Structure 1
Amino acid sequence: MSTFDDLTNNFSRLPGIGKKSAVRIVNWLLKQDGAYVQKFAQNLGVLQERVRPCKVCGTWTESDTCPICSDPLRDSSIICVVEQPQDVSTIEAYGEFKGLYHVLGGLIKPLEGVGPAQLAIAPLLDRIRGGTVHEVIVATNPTVEGDTTALYLNKLIMELGVLPADGGRDKIKVTRLATGIPVGGDLEYIDKRTLSLSFRGRSEF
């Protein structure tokens, strides 16, 4: 097999890239400046070495703690729970949410052998037990798996009881994004206006 075919097969394994698209990409790369292709290959070669999950929230970063978790101006009393790191980028793009994030790393899918133990749920509960979190926004996608995960998280968080910092007066509020996001939709493909309205119209369980 030729280098062209090898590279085409590599690109065709990427999400959303079929065989024809992979061929077009390889042909396009062949027409580009050599310096660009070398830089592209270099960045790809060090991607997994330099980019890692944030030790606090789980989103991608090149340092131990991501810029969002390290920002003292962010509202640490609100945590937005998402499925994957790319969901953080999607929400950040619309620019209105000023709280913190927590990446689960997936959804509960019993038929695929994915249960709560395979997700970053325990670290989320540890962050909540710290006593500074007043609201948890569950921003999982509006699918069967997303709703199942959201209900499971709500149950666990409610079992934590009251906030220690409030002297036993207030319970943690758990909210879900409003239904401006279509059922079966994916956060990655939602327009900024719809996502903004979903955050503003979020409701408690």
Structure 2
Amino acid sequence: MKLYNTMTRKKEKFEPITPGEVKMYSCGPTVYNFFHIGNARPFIIFDILRRYLEYRGYKVTFVQNFTDVDDKIIKRAKDENTTEKEVSDRFIQEYFRDAEALNIRKADYHPRVTEHIDEIIDIIKRLEANGFTYTVGGDVYYDTSKFVEYGKLSKQNLNELEAGARIDVNEVKRNPFDFVLWKGQKPGEPAWESPWGMGRPG
């Protein structure tokens, strides 16, 4: 079996790290609404790949996450006068209902962001210790200029992107392509304790 390798831009023979076993991760939905046909595409692709690998005799462990804390979830909860958990719980169930209608099997594990806050904080602390982050007003940003291979997977040069990109200007960012890892708490938003103050994953 050959799979397309985004890094090399070639189809390459698939060889698992551990003979006979495959561990797969797929980014799942941000659960603030029903998923649409565009969202369904990767869900179906990973389901087909998983089934084929199992058919070929591999022991497959498949993980698909749910992003259950996010600006859109917070907004919907506020608009509906409910909680972020109630919004995410509802649309996780709607996801499973729609996935079943498409004959998409459940993953072996469906971790939620809110179940792994400690691990997220630990990863950000490691990035901080290695000089890859900076903090502004309780928000922690990833400094893309510190990672020399940033853009390698997409085959894009950061300097070229800066020269021609159309993006919103954010005055607190050192670089337009930096992204937030941790957001400081705003009034009425869910938050957890962290070394940077109360906040949540970005």
Normalized against structure 2, the TM-score is what? 0.25
Return the structure number with greater helix share: 1
**Greater fraction strand:** 2
Query: Higher relative contact order at CA 8 Å, sep ≥6: structure 1 or structure 2?
Result: 2
| TM-score normalised by length of structure 1 | 0.25
